[in-house]
């Protein structure tokens, strides 16, 4: 599943504020796996900033 940079950034910001994040209906994964993905995005964001969240070619 590919997510837009805007969606990833929104999730990371909510995660950092402690706001509950529900997986989107279009995500074909479990809530637990989706939250693991958000946690991964947060670590990348902390290390590389917004550039790290961009899709790689």
Domain range summary for the chain, segments of one domain joined by +? 5-53
pTM metric for this prediction: 0.87
Question: Residue 1: which residues within 8 A CB-CB, separation 6 or more?
Answer: 26, 27, 28, 29
Write out the chain's pLDDT in tens, 57 residues.
689 999 999 999 999 999 999 999 988 999 999 999 999 999 999 999 999 999 776
Torsional sign, CA 39, 53, 9, 2? negative
């Amino acid at each position: 599943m590919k997510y837009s940079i805007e969606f990833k950034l929104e999730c990371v910001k909510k995660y950092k504020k402690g706001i509950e994040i529900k997986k989107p209906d279009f995500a074909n994964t479990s809530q637990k796996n989706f939250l693991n993905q958000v946690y991964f995005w947060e670590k990348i964001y902390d290390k590389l900033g917004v550039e790290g969240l961009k899709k790689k070619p």
